[in-house]
A = this chain, B = another copy of it.
Amino acid sequence: MPPGEFELIARYFTRAPRRSAVALGVGDDCALLAPAPGMELAVTTDLLIEGRHFLASVPPERLGHKALAVNLSDLAACGAEPLAFTLALAMPAADERFLAGFAQGLFALAEAHGVDLVGGDTTAGPLALAITAFGQVPAGAALRRSGARAGDELWVSGTLGDARLALELFRGRVALGAEELEAVRRAMECPVPRVALGIALRGVASAAIDLSDGLVGDLGHILRRSGVGARVERDVLPRSAALARQDEALQHECLLAGGDDYELLFTAPAARHDAVRAAARAAGVAVTRIGRIEAGTQLRIVDAQGAAVALRWQGFDHFAPAGLPAGPAAASPAAPGNTGADAGR
């Protein structure tokens, strides 16, 4: 007989809180958080379902990492400093090997960012994870989706499209060498939340979002909330060496509609160009200027000659029938949605 739920959870998920902002951690009906004076509490939640957001074959360590990373990425997009998180976990059975690996990946990332697990819930059921993460940001300083203005420069961190390339690899559409395979698989399974960059962009960026559903879809959220348009230079979109070796059509698909990138997409006044560069240097993250915010409501993707290219891709819709192919690839990952995607969530 497997150990009971309580004992099992206690073994893997009880750690004393270390943040002074955590007045009471696990072990009561509620956790108690006390943001520093003058700080607002940023809250985000993401739900990950096996076969939809991750493959059954994902190593538990990486799943633990990713479940928290996608939430820290949402905090980063608000410029919030991560404090704590809760974990709700459904599993078919109390699988200790899974829990041990999951906890290892989860807490490695949590410790890297100094965040405490402050509560949660566990139950039997199809494998599903819901994490709610908390951060703090000075009142009024949070980066929002609604602040982009015509004339602002449009920026993105890191490189785009590798997670999608990994998905195409699992689908059998492309083949990669062992080293590239591991690199793109890491991009899909171990995204790095851009927390330091988000904090450094407070007071610099005019709007920000994290890229979970693909550049075109997520940029659309900024444009709609801000009431503006944009021009994106397709050929300057930053990409890895592995992606740059693929055929052009696949590159464009991965770059523009890839999803699961967890890079920051943000805007800043052109006059703050140097401040953006300085923030990126301070955070140790590469950033690329990929276009400009324009008056109107159009999103134009242009090629190197400045000619508009057709837009075949939209943001990922978890219920659209067009989504993933049937068969094994139906168990392909999709990007967890953001809290408050323009959907009003």
Contact = CB atoms under 8 A, between A and B. Distances in A.
A134 interface: yes
Interface string A1-20: 11011111110011000000
A337 interface: yes
A81 B96 CA distance: 37
A157 to B, nearest CB: 14
B44 A336 contact: no
B47 A40 contact: no
Contacts of A299: none
A142 B27 CA distance: 14
A339 B40 contact: no
A88 interface: yes
A318 B137 CA distance: 37
A145 B28 contact: yes
Interface in A287-338: 317-321, 334, 336-338
Interface stretch (A116-124, A170-178, A278-286): A116-124
A203 interface: no
Given A30-B78, A34-B40, A121-B345, A23 B318 contact: no
Contacts of A146: 28
Interface string A88-116: 11100110000000000000000000000
Contact of A52 (B2, B124, B318, B321): B124
A123 B340 contact: no
A30 B135 contact: yes
Interface residues of A, number: 90
B321 A144 contact: no
Nearest to A37: B37
Contact of A46 (B5, B13, B88, B319): B88
Contacts of A338: 29, 121
Contacts of A23: 40, 139
Nearest to A5: B319
A33 interface: yes
Nearest 7 A/B pairs, CB to CB? A14-B344, A130-B130, A49-B125, A6-B343, A47-B88, A119-B339, A29-B77
16 contacts: A5-B343, A14-B343, A14-B345, A27-B344, A27-B345, A29-B74, A29-B339, A30-B77, A31-B43, A32-B41, A32-B142, A43-B119, A47-B130, A51-B125, A52-B125, A128-B128
